[in-house]
């Protein structure tokens, strides 16, 4: 990667300028047209048929995928010579966001275009790509991804599915059981993970339904996403040509990890799309529902909910598109250095694995807040199956489990960053030592800054110092046992998640201030100030909890003083800030940002 580009995890130790980030307000005309195509498709094909979709009407979901394929929505990331549009990662994230408002349809289309198609696109041979990708991009064939097993969820490499070479050496016979397979009921192509003979690691295979030896259990009965086909799949001596081994033998686990990185990032924008739709439904109801002679949108308790919904969405969205451009830049840098397209794409995405994990956690938990408060705004009607928020509430819950549970993703985010530091790819120890020295020195108050975000800029810098202090002390104190201290790692992850979103939302509005004045952006300014003010308390609590778990005596006292110092902010009238945000939502009668 080019040295001037930010690297994965480097946000902790490097200051980013507003000019260096991509923000959603910068989508070009073509990207906006693609986004509108997605919105129009949902309005025409999905929303009128939600009950039919949830009832799993025969052929309906596969037909919707085919219609999306006819519009090109399945091939956004696919090269033009393979039947796609060949667009960048940012554009593919935008499409994920817009289709993410499609309830169960969004799950089916995400599984098809993501974990179903991308393993072949990025790891397949030229012949494999030419054979499968055009049919997948058009929707002629539908794809599913078979990794999870009854005894192997988060620990995917412990799967028991086996592949054995036939005596003539021309086929593999696959035997095993897979569960929770999205699109399983109608998929034509399966990406199947199994161990060849006594291998320690998984291999991956492209398996066509027509190969035979495949049986399906009935559709699973689920809490939500009821329209998404979810089956257990059994492979019984399924005969797979040796040409359908995907990538190298024992490379399956790496394929699974890298494809899941992409899935985490795209899930983040997909749930943002769903969250925006819920806010729009919430405010329409709040403006229409009259109690005590007034629309309930006039009441402060409801306005708080509307504003907080918007704050969490805006922060997650800002972080998601920031990473999207970072990934695109990392891919381009590798292409410029002579790396081929497939490897450059995979390496570019892998570079930001920690950020992808952060996004997945932040956005899925933001959606859960949004839909929960959506039901509360609707009151009794929100609990009725006749309301849209009831479906949104049920459908949202899976997102904290999809693409690795949020518990696993919190641990992964910190693990990725620490491993990069151990490999010498990221200098954490230097900045951590600097923070440790700062704790015992006289504070440098610097020159007085009267700019609009002076308090917030200083806060973001200090949030990073708080993380470096806690993480540095934990590494030094616990050393090789830190990996087992999941509560402490979770505390550090929560600090990093808040700090990354805080910086992202600040940079987004800073960039907007370069083209608009403060009056035009008063709501966005309120979003920034409120998020960062609240984040300071959350980071303070997580930091104290972590430190109290491993430090004691004078050392603990000193670091607790450091946490207090690094999370201190001037008082902010958050009621006033939220009123500004809510008033805009009420006036527009939809999510407006």
Q: Which residues of the chain have pLDDT under 70?
A: 1-2, 443-447
Q: Does residue 593 sit within a domain?
A: no
Q: CA-based Rg of the chain, rounded to a whole angstrom?
A: 24
Q: Does residue 591 sit within a domain?
A: no
501 and 373, same domain (yes or no) = no
Q: What is the DSSP string of 361-421?
A: HHHHHHHHHHHHHHHHHHGGGGGSTTSHHHHHHHHHGGGGTTTS-HHHHHHHHHHHHHHHH
Q: Does residue 3 sit within a domain?
A: no
User: Phi and psi (nearest 5°) for 422?
Assistant: -65, -30
456 and 563, same domain (yes or no) = yes
Q: Does residue 226 sit within a domain?
A: yes
pLDDT score recorded for residue 1: 63
pLDDT score recorded for residue 3: 73
**Cβ neighbours of 340 (radius 10 Å):** 9
CATH number, domain containing residue 170: 2.40.110.10
Q: Report the number of distinct structural domains present in the chain.
A: 4
37 and 115, same domain (yes or no) = yes
Distance of CA 33 to the CA centre of its chain: 23
CATH number, domain containing residue 556: 1.20.140.10
| Helix residue ranges per DSSP H, 84-218 | 89-99, 104-111, 118-123, 126-138
Is-contact 184 231, C-beta < 8 A? yes
160 and 195, same domain (yes or no) = yes
Number of Cα atoms under 13 Å in the Cβ half of residue 376: 13
308 and 375, same domain (yes or no) = yes
Pairing verdict, β 162-165 and 171-182: antiparallel
398 and 478, same domain (yes or no) = no
- Residue ending a domain, among 374, 408, 442, is 408
**Cβ neighbours of 335 (radius 10 Å):** 15
pLDDT score recorded for residue 379: 97
Q: Please list the active-site residues.
A: 403
How many whole angstroms separate alpha carbon 531 and alpha carbon 514?
21
- 214 DSSP β-pair partners: 235
273 and 383, same domain (yes or no) = yes
295 and 394, same domain (yes or no) = yes
115 and 40, same domain (yes or no) = yes
319 and 236, same domain (yes or no) = no
pLDDT score recorded for residue 446: 65
- Residue ending a domain, among 246, 266, 296, is 246
398 and 446, same domain (yes or no) = no
Q: What is the DSSP string of 251-284?
A: -HHHHHHHHHHHHHHHHHHHHHHHHHHHHHHHHH
Express each pLDDT in 276-335 by its tens digit: 999 999 999 999 999 999 999 999 999 999 999 999 999 999 999 999 999 999 999 999
For 286, the domain range is: 252-408
Which residues lie closer than 8 Å to 172 by C-beta, 6 or more apart?
Answer: 163, 164, 165, 166, 196, 205, 239, 240, 242, 244, 245
CATH number, domain containing residue 60: 1.10.540.10
How many whole angstroms separate alpha carbon 123 and alpha carbon 244?
11
- Residue ending a domain, among 221, 246, 271, is 246
Residue 247 has what DSSP assignment?
S
Is-contact 174 161, C-beta < 8 A? yes
Q: Does residue 9 sit within a domain?
A: no
Q: Does residue 11 sit within a domain?
A: no
514 and 534, same domain (yes or no) = yes
């Amino acid at each position: 990667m080019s040295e001037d580009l930010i690297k994965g995890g480097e946000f902790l130790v490097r200051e980013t300028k507003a000019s260096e980030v991509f923000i959603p307000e910068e989508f070009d005309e073509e990207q906006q047209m693609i986004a509108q195509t997605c919105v129009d498709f949902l309005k025409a094909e999905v929303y009128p048929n939600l009950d039919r979709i949830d009832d799993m009407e025969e052929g309906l979901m596969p037909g919707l995928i085919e219609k999306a394929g006819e519009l090109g929505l399945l091939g956004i990331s696919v090269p033009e010579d393979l039947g796609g549009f060949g667009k960048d990662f940012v554009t593919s994230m935008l499409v994920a966001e817009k289709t993410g408002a499609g309830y169960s349809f969004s799950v089916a289309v995400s599984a098809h275009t993501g974990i179903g198609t991308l393993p072949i696109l990025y790891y397949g041979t030229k012949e494999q790509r030419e054979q499968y990708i055009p049919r997948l991009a058009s929707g002629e064939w539908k794809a599913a991804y078979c990794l999870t097993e009854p005894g192997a969820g988060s620990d995917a490499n412990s799967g028991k599915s086996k592949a054995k070479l036939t005596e003539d050496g021309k086929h593999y016979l696959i035997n095993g059981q897979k569960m929770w397979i999205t699109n399983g009921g109608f998929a034509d192509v399966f990406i199947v993970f199994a161990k060849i003979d006594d291998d320690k690691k998984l291999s991956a295979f492209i398996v066509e339904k027509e190969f035979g030896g495949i049986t399906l259990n009935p559709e699973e009965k689920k809490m939500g996403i009821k329209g998404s086909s979810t089956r257990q799949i059994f492979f019984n001596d399924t005969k797979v040509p040796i040409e359908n081994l995907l990538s190298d033998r024992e490379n399956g686990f790496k394929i699974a990890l890298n494809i899941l990185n992409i899935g985490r990032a795209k899930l983040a924008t997909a749930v943002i799309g769903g969250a925006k739709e819920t806010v729009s439904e919430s405010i329409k109801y709040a403006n229409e529902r009259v109690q005590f002679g007034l629309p309930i949108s006039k009441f402060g308790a409801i306005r708080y909910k509307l504003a907080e919904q918007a704050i969490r969405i805006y922060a997650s969205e800002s972080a998601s598109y920031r990473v999207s451009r970072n990934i695109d830049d990392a891919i381009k840098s590798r292409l410029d250095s002579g790396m081929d397209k497939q490897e450059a794409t995979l390496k570019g995405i892998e570079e930001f694995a920690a950020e992808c994990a952060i996004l997945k956690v932040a956005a899925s938990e933001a959606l859960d807040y949004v839909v929960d408060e959506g039901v509360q705004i609707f009151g009794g009607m929100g609990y009725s199956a006749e309301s849209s928020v009831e479906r949104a509430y049920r459908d949202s819950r899976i997102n904290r489990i999809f693409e690795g549970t949020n518990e696993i993703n919190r641990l992964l985010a910190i693990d990725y960053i620490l491993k990069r530091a151990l490999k010498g790819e990221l200098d954490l120890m230097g900045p951590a030592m600097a923070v440790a020295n700062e704790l015992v020195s006289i504070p440098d108050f610097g020159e007085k800054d009267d700019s609009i975000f002076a308090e917030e800029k200083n806060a973001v810098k200090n949030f990073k110092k708080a993380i470096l202090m806690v993480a540095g002390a934990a590494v030094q104190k616990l050393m090789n046992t830190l990996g087992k201290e999941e509560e402490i790692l979770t505390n550090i992850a929560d600090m990093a998640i808040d700090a990354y979103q805080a910086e992202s939302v600040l940079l987004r509005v800073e960039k907007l201030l370069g083209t608009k004045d403060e009056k035009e952006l008063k709501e966005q300014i309120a979003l920034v100030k409120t998020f960062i003010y609240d984040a300071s308390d959350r980071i303070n609590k997580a930091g104290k909890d972590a430190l109290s778990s491993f430090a004691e005596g004078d050392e603990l006292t000193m670091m607790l003083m450091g946490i207090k110092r690094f999370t201190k902010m001037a008082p902010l009238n958050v009621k006033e800030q939220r009123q500004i945000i809510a008033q805009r939502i009420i006036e527009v009668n939809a999510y407006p940002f």
